[in-house]
Amino acid sequence: MEKIRQISSELRDWIIHTLNNGVSPVAIADAMIKKGFDPKFAYESLFKIVGNESIKTIETTQNQYTYEIPEIGKKGNLIYTSDQEVKVLSRVDKPFILHLDHVLSEDECDELIQLSKNRLQPSRIVDPTTGEEKVTPGRTSKGMYFTLKENQLITKIENRISELTNTPVENGEGLQVLNYDIGEEYKQHFDFFPANKVDPTKGGQRVGTMLIYLNEVIAGGETVFPKAGVSIVPKKGSAVYFHYGNSENQVDRMSVHSSVPVSKGEKWVATKWIRQGRIY
Ligand SMILES: O=C(O)CCC(=O)C(=O)O
Ligand SMILES: [Fe+2]
């Protein structure tokens, strides 16, 4: 039988789509050959597409995330919890970012700093390739974790975040408090886990982060979302909520962010990472 030596535009689209889904070019060539394509033609044309599309492919992969508005984004500009009136200050759709004011009162911020002060340790990061936790120069802050519902204040804050986000308290990791001194930073990273480190028995992937600012930083220390061109200036009691996981188990690489070095004063934040399901 005559071998096929032509690629239709539909096939070309299918190849690009399949590459974007992470299927190797060799596997695609094999599939084409099985369908009756001339092997040399299949390999040559496929690698031409890979070459031409490589830059576009990377971008397409990153843009393939399907945006879904999380519950917190559907509540209007004033969000009432049972004990707090939270104000939405600004919003970005892609990646999804909400800047919120009055998430904590000034007293709650002060109390949280006091409770964590003598429990600080050098911060660790999850290595994106191995998934192991380690201390790195990219994250120079100090931090500590509270256990879930550790005391009255923590329980109150966890209930408030749960009401704001419509997620059970048990979907949240223990609240983390971070302290950055002058020059300290947290370089660009994602909060979601590498795919091979997602544990379905522990609530699965992280889908959102509530990052609460506990003090005023005199200069520097902004949380920067470079893909969104957004920089959040810390304000005591305000928070930034960003959402990067959808119902299709995709993660949004546009959510990459950093904490730029503090240049004057110090910075205190509390981070609550929220997973798809219950961790405990
Ligand atoms: O301190 C910040 O502004 C960012 C902290 C952060 O990205 C994190 O804890 O994952
Ligand atoms: Fe982060």
Same domain, 15 and 79: no
Average pLDDT, the chain: 89
Confidence of residue 217 (pLDDT cuts 50, 70, 90): very high
Q: Specify whether 19 is located in the same domain as 100.
A: no
90 and 211 both lie in a single domain: yes
pLDDT given at position 11: 80
Does 268 contact ligand 1 (Cβ within 6 A)? no
Q: What are phi and psi of 163, to 5 degrees?
A: -70, -40
Q: How many domains does the chain have?
A: 2
- Asked which of 28, 44, 63 is the last residue of a domain, the reply is 63
Residue pair 218/266 in contact by the 8 Å Cβ criterion:
no
pLDDT of residue 140: 78
Measured in whole angstroms, how far is the alpha carbon of residue 22 from the centre of its chain? 21
Same domain, 178 and 240: yes
Domain assignment of residue 105, yes or no:
yes
Task: Tell me which amino acid residue 192 is.
Answer: F
Spatial contact of 252 and 65, defined as CB atoms under 8 Å apart: yes
Boundaries of domain holding 123: 71-275
- What lies within 8 Å, CB to CB, of 230 at 6+ separation is 92, 97, 224
User: Would you say residue 280 lies in a domain?
Assistant: no
140 close to 185: Cβ distance less than 8 angstroms: yes
Tell me which residue has tokens 């950093």: 258
| 87-101, 121-135, 139-153: the lowest-pLDDT one | 121-135
- Quote the longest CA-to-CA distance of the chain: 80
Same domain, 121 and 42: no
Main-chain dihedrals φ then ψ at residue 243, nearest 5 degrees:
-125, 130
Answer yes or no: is 56 within a domain: yes
Give yes or no: residues 50 and 175 share one domain: no
Yes or no: say if 133 and 124 are a contact pair by the CB < 8 Å rule: yes
- Co-location of 18 and 37 in the same domain: yes
What residues does 224 pair with on adjacent strands?
Answer: 231, 258
Query: pLDDT-based confidence at 233, cuts 50/70/90?
Result: very high
CA dihedral 127, 130, 135, 138 (to 10 degrees): -30
In three-state secondary structure terms, 90 is strand
What pLDDT sits at residue 55?
Answer: 40
The candidate with the shortest Cα–Cα distance to 101, out of 240, 252, 275, is 240
Same domain, 47 and 151: no
163 within 8 A of 155, measured Cβ to Cβ: no
Question: pLDDT tens-digit profile of 59-92?
Answer: 444 458 999 999 999 999 999 999 999 999 999 9
Q: Cα separations (Å) of 280 from 147, 150, 168, 172, 173?
A: 11, 14, 11, 9, 9
- Does residue 4 lie in a domain region? no
Task: Pick the closest to residue 275 from 254, 244, 248 (CA basis).
Answer: 244
Closest C-alpha among 4, 5, 6, 53 to residue 25: 53
How many residues are listed for the chain in this entry?
Answer: 280
CATH number at residue 75: 2.60.120.620
What percentage of the chain carries pLDDT values higher than 90? 70
- Is 2 a member of any domain? no
Ligand 1: does its nearest atom lie under 6 Å from the Cβ of 242? no
- Asked, for residue 171, whether it belongs to a domain, the answer is yes
Based on the fold, state whether residues 81 and 214 are members of the same structural domain.
Answer: yes
Token pair belonging to 65: 């995330």
Residue 160 belongs to a domain: yes
User: Within this chain, do residues 127 and 47 fall inside the same structural domain, yes or no?
Assistant: no
Task: Find the 213 Cα to ligand 1 centroid distance in Å.
Answer: 10
Is residue 3, in this structure, part of any structural domain at all?
no
Based on the domain organization, do 44 and 75 belong to the same domain?
A: no
Say what the pLDDT of residue 89 is: 98
Of 184, 192, 257, best ligand 1 pocket probe by most atoms within 8 Å of the beta carbon: 257
Per-residue pLDDT for 18 more than 70? no
Residue 169 has pLDDT above 70, yes or no: yes
Query: Where in 36-175 does DSSP place strands (E)?
Result: 78-80, 85-92, 96-101, 121-122, 125-126, 133-134, 142-145
Q: Do 139 and 53 share a structural domain?
A: no
ipTM comes to: 0.99
271 ligand 1 Cβ < 6 A: yes
Q: Whose CA is nearest to atom 10 of ligand 1?
A: 191
